[in-house]
Each structure stands twice: as C-alpha cells, then as structure tokens.
Structure 1
Amino acid sequence: MDTVFVVASSATDQHLTRVCAAASGMVYAPATAGTTGSQGPLHPGLNTFVDRLRTLTLLPVGVGIGVSTPEQAAIVGSYADAVIVGSAFIHAIETSPGSAGALQAALLAQCLADGVRRAVPTTA
C-alpha cells in the first residue's frame, strides 16, 4: 500500500525532502490554501511549487484540493502528473437527487477530462 502525503508550499526544502523520502506512490500538492471542497483561484505559485517538488523527489506529483472546473483541470494538467478532484463530484451528486446525481457526476468527469486533454505541458 502506498503512503501519500499532502505537502504544503510553505514547508522548508529540508522538511519536504523528509516527507518525500517517506512517501510512496505520489506526493500530493494542494491547489488552494483552503480545505478540501474549497472553491476559488488556484494558488498563484502552484506550478513553481510542483517544479520545486520535482527537484526533491522522483515520485509523481498530484495536485488537488480546490480543483473543480475544467479550466482548473487544464491548468493543473499542464504541469502536474495527476489532477485530483473529489469534492466537486460529491457536490454534483448531493445537489441532484437519485440517478440525476450520477448523471451530473458523469458529465463533470467528462468536462474535467476534456480540460485535462486540452492541457499544454509546461515542463519537459
């Protein structure tokens, strides 16, 4: 079983190095400063933070916590190894009763996937 840690951009390189060394599977970078389910703009230095993590680990870097739109998925998909979305699916299901919730979640998945496919990689 993999051990995935959420790492904060405010952490020192020394701390990030220790966390990355203990992780397996991937490292999880939050897209926003809020809690899961937060909606708002992506952290302005997110791509720089992902690049910073890449210097400290060979593990893939996934970005989530705050990703909820196709536009955000496209941005994050241009520099992260994984785009992580959870709360937006829960919201889609909760706001539409019964099978309509499943349909809303499926439509969201399609829109997010389309966003990721539009992503233009910013790193080599």
Structure 2
Amino acid sequence: MSERLASAFAKGHPALVCFLTAGDGDTAANLDALVAGGADVIELGMPFTDPMADGSAIQNANIRSLAKGTRTANILEMAAQFRIRHSEVPLVLMGYANPMIRRGPEWFASAAHEAGVDGVICVDIPPEEDEALGPALRAKGIAPIRLATPTTDAKRLPRVLEGSSGFLYYVSVAGITGKQQAAQASIEDAVARLKSATDLPVAVGFGVRTPEQAGAIARVADGVVVGSALVELVAEHGEAAPEHLRTLTASLAQAVHAARKV
C-alpha cells in the first residue's frame, strides 16, 4: 500500500475520494480545484470507448475527452504534472483494461510509477484474472484497488481481497454510475460485512451526489467516493468549472470529515 494512500485514510476522519475524467475540460485546473476544496484522494478516469460501468455523465465525459484526442500518454503526463504540484495527495488511475495492458502490463505499471501514481482501479479485470495486471502493479509499488459489489458474497470476497491494497472500493448499487443510490441501511450492512473481512479501508461510491449523502455514508465507511456530480459540473460550466468544483468539494469534504463527530 502506498504511503500516500495509507496517510489519506489515517487522518482521524473518513477520506473524501473525488473522481474526474482525464482530458475533459482543463484537467489540471479542475484537479487543483478538488485539492483546494479538501479532497483526500483523487481518482483520474482514463477515457475509453466502451465504459460499461459508467452512466451518461461519465460516458459523455469520455466522449468529450476522446474527441479532443486524449491518449494514455497524455493521461500519464497529466498525472506526472499533478504529482509535481501536489506531492502528498494520492492519485489513482481508474479505467478499463484495454488502455492499461495493450502495450503490456509491465510498460503501464512502469509508466504509472514514473508519473507518481499510487493506485489503479481496473473495472473489467476480475480478481480471477489478476495475472493480467496485478503482479506488474505490485512490483512497482502501485496498489491494485479492487471493487466489491452488493453481489459479492462470502464465498467470493476472499478472492476479491487477495492481492488487493490501498482501499476496497464498495460499489453500493448493482448498476452503473450516476443518480441511483443504495439505501443507507444496505450500505451500513455491507460496510460492516466488508470490514469484518479485511483491514483495508472501505470506501463507498456510486450514486453519492450531495454532502448529506456523503456525510451519512462517512459515519460508517472509511471513505466516500464522488464522481458523476463533479463530472457534471465540468460539462455544465466548461472553463469556469474549477470554481464550482472547489465549492462542491469543500461542502462534501466538510460533511465527510465531520461525520464521526455527529
């Protein structure tokens, strides 16, 4: 587990994890706004032509980014420049297998390491196919961050956890990213079950849009992931997005960081 990721989940309060799509809008300015607003961990989405786990907001962000010609090399450069500006903020790349392994997992892991990436979430490589990317990431000290879902039962959970590090990302709905949100009671039950099986921090995402939702989840989880609500601000405000991103992130961070005090 990277030291930056470990530190993000050891601040004495739950962590706010914020997602944006690379190449959508002014990525550098938008990421800086998330940090200024109080994000503890940044997820940078790698645009892909078939983002099967994502709803319309992130699908459209992928389309906008790819239309501008965003490639893996551009994303890695964005990551490297982010690391220069923010030496202590964890950065996680999130995306799909094809862009990560098409030049070989060792190449991708080495390039991500050189760019200062702390973790990788690959949506469509299941734990049973860990050899496709996991060993290369671990060899470079990059956390392979796994996903658990409402359908991850007790029999499969150990396989999901094996070789995973950084944090466990709990996908709170059996569906795509966007506006659907799981009931708070089901999230609480799931987090309790997951935390009884692992020492990894458990971060909950999918469908989290407001400070009220984020705060409620943070009372039981180690982290809260917000993506679509932020991506929508980039689509709506364009060059003016950083101001709006900073404002929403600040309100989310306040709710998440204070959740355990309520």
Among 21, 28, 41, the residue aligned to 2:169: 28
Task: Give the AA of the match of 1:120.
Answer: R
Amino acid in the other structure paired with 2:242: A
Amino acid at match of 2:182: L
Structure 1: where are the runs of 5+ without partners? Answer: none
Q: Structure 2: how far apart are the matches of 1:121 and 1:20?
A: 30
Superposition deviation, residue 67 in structure 1: 1.0
Deviations 1:4-51 (A, max 9, x none): 111112222120111112211111101333312x11333341111011
Matched AA of 2:252: L
1:55-70 matches, within 5 Å, as 55-70=196-211
Q: Displacement, 1:120?
A: 3.1
Which one has the bigger strand percentage?
Answer: 2
1:85, distance to aligned residue in structure 2 (A)? 1.1
CA distance in 2, matches of 1:110, 1:31: 23
Match of 2:222 among 77, 81, 94: 81
- Matched residue type, 1:91: E
Retained in 2: the 8 A contact 1:30–1:66? no
Sort the Cα spacing of 1:41 and 1:66 in 2 relative to 1 into closer, same or farther, 3 A.
Answer: closer
- Greater radius of gyration (CA): 2
Number of residue pairs the alignment of both structures matches: 120
Q: Which 10-residue stretch deviates more, 76-85 or 110-119?
A: 110-119
Taking the aligned partners of 1:6 and 1:68, their CA distance within structure 2 comes to 20
Residue in 2 that maps onto 1:116: 256
> Which letter maps to 2:159?
R
> If the length of structure 2 is used for normalisation, what is the TM-score?
0.43
How much identity, in percent, do the aligned residues show? 31
Return the alpha-carbon distance in structure 2 between the equivalents of residues 31 and 114 of structure 1. 22
Picking from 182, 198, 214, the partner of 1:42 is: 182
Whichever structure has more helix as a proportion of its residues is 2
Q: For residue 81 of structure 1, what is the amino acid of its counterpart?
A: D
Q: Normalising by structure 1, what TM-score?
A: 0.87
Aligned residues of 1:26 and 1:61 also touching (Cα < 8 A): yes
For the 8 Å contact 1:76–1:83, the answer to whether it is kept is yes
CA contact (8 A) 1:77 1:121 kept: no
1:14 aligns with 2:155: yes
CA RMSD of aligned residues (A): 1.8
C-alpha contact (below 8 Å) 2:208/2:214 kept by paired residues: yes
- Runs of 4+ residues deviating >4 angstroms: none
Larger relative contact order (C-alpha < 8 A, sep ≥ 6)? 2
Aligned 8 A contact 2:146 2:168 in 1:
yes
Q: 1:83, 1:117 → 2: CA distance?
A: 10
